[in-house]
Amino acid sequence: MKKVLITLLVVAFSVMVFSLKEMVVVEKGSFTMGDTRNVGASDEKPTHKVVVEYDFYIGKYEVTFEEYFLFLEASGKANDIEIVEAEAKTIPVTNVSWWDAIAYCNWLSKEEDLPVAYRTFGEPDEGQLLDFEGNTTTDVSKVVGYRLPTEAEWEFAARGGNLSRGYIYSGSDDFDQVAWHPSNSGGEAQEIGKKIPNELGIYDMSGNVWEWCSDWHTLYTDSVRINPYVDTGFLKPVRGGSFGDDVTCSRVSYRGYVYPESANDFFGFRVCRKAP
pLDDT in tens, 88-109: 678 999 999 999 999 999 999 9
Residue 16 belongs to a domain: no
* 21 or 43, higher pLDDT: 43
Number of domains making up the chain: 1
Average pLDDT, the chain: 90
Smallest Cα–Cα separation from 91: which of 230, 238, 194?
194
pLDDT confidence bin for 84, thresholds 50/70/90: very low
Write out pLDDT tens, residues 183-212. Answer: 999 999 999 999 999 999 999 999 999 999
pLDDT confidence bin for 165, thresholds 50/70/90: very high
d(CA 46, CA 40) in angstroms, rounded, equals 11
pLDDT confidence bin for 18, thresholds 50/70/90: low
- Lowest mean pLDDT, pick from 18-22, 157-161, 189-193: 18-22
Residue 119 belongs to a domain: yes
Residue 236 belongs to a domain: yes
Domain that holds residue 167: 4-10+25-274
pTM of the model: 0.92
Output the pLDDT for position 170: 98
- The conformation of residue 133, written as its DSSP 8-state character, comes to T
pLDDT confidence bin for 3, thresholds 50/70/90: very low
Output the pLDDT for position 19: 58
Q: Is the pLDDT of residue 14 over 80?
A: no
Cα–Cα separations (whole angstroms), residue 10 to 15, 17, 28, 84, 106: 12, 17, 40, 10, 23
d(CA 50, CA 53) in angstroms, rounded, equals 10
- Taking residues 160-182, report their average pLDDT: 97
Output the pLDDT for position 4: 44
- Lowest mean pLDDT, pick from 45-59, 63-77, 176-190: 63-77
The CATH code of the domain that includes 222 is 3.90.1580.10
Please report, for the chain, how many H helices and E strands are present, in that order.
4, 14
**Number of other CB atoms surrounding residue 6 within 10 Å:** 26
Residue 19 belongs to a domain: no
Residue 254 belongs to a domain: yes
Residue 246 belongs to a domain: yes
Q: Is the pLDDT of residue 86 over 90?
A: no
Residue 253 belongs to a domain: yes
Output the pLDDT for position 190: 95
Q: Is the pLDDT of residue 15 over 90?
A: no
Residue 96 belongs to a domain: yes
Q: Is the pLDDT of residue 10 over 60?
A: no
